Amino acid sequence: MAGKESAGILLYRRVDARLEVFLVHPGGPFFVKKDAGAWSLPKGELDAGESPLAAATREFAEETGQTLDACRAGAPWALGDVTQKGGKVVHAFAAEGDWPAGAVLASTTFTIEWPPRSGEQQAFPEVDRGGFFDLEAAREKINPAQAALLDRLAEQVDPAAPVFKVVRPEEWDGATYAPSPHDRRDGFVHLSSRQYVERTRKRFFAGVSGLRLLAIDPARVPAGALRWEPTSENVKFPHLYGSLTLDMVISDEPID
């Protein structure tokens, strides 16, 4: 079915308790004046014998000039398929990451006869621009058949969900957080999503008594201060750049 199937990566990031997705605009003369409904996740057709994930990863690099590693992306996970007008199936994978600072989009090119019936061949970029959009703007720009992918992403990733901080008794007096040596060393406050709280407690706080768990509301964190960044294991964790203050905390409970 090569030529009937495409695969792509929907790169996303969390910014100030909202989701943003990276979309690209197709290059070439036929799309110059088209905007709404013309954008897409970076994608392309599967080569013979190629898996959808391998094709999606390859096409992302070819259409943007950046690898997923360069975007500090986590492991891609399946968003399922959609079928576009004309019958082409698009296999989609989501990956949390960000565009490398200062990087310029650089797409591969294609060649067509242009102007029509001129006998002249011209090269155009597969993609002429790209950028991050919040979900409302993305729904306006994206190919209508791909809009379902945005809904699936929103169902799986809640950027407004609380994040958590395990604190020792000497680090938290009920109102003020005194950064741990780990936080002072790294220059940010290490936080955790709900699913990793217990692993964090066992790994870094084994044998410590009097621990408390602070739940933090991302909406109360200053704009741009909460960043989801990969660890050495390429797992995304929330990091707070700045002070952890009482007004951010929505609950404070013992966890011993």
Would you list the domain boundaries of the chain?
5-156, 163-254
Query: Sign of the CA dihedral 249, 240, 159, 15?
Result: positive
Distance from the Cα of residue 203 to its chain's centroid = 26
pLDDT value at residue 135: 97
Instruction: State how far the Cα of 218 lies from the Cα of 211, in Å rounded to an integer.
Output: 22
Read off the tokens for 37: 């409904």
pLDDT value at residue 230: 80
Read off the tokens for 241: 């750049």
Could you tell me the CATH superfamily of domain 5-156?
Nucleoside Triphosphate Pyrophosphohydrolase (3.90.79.10)
pLDDT value at residue 210: 95
Classify 163-254 by CATH class: alpha beta
Collect all residues with Cβ–Cβ distance below 8 Å to 39 and sequence separation of at least 6.
23, 24, 25, 138, 141, 142, 143
What Cα–Cα distance (Å) separates residue 125 from each residue in 21, 51, 63, 230?
21, 25, 8, 31
Which segments in the chain show pLDDT lower than 70? 1-3, 234
Q: Is the pTM of this model over 0.75?
A: yes
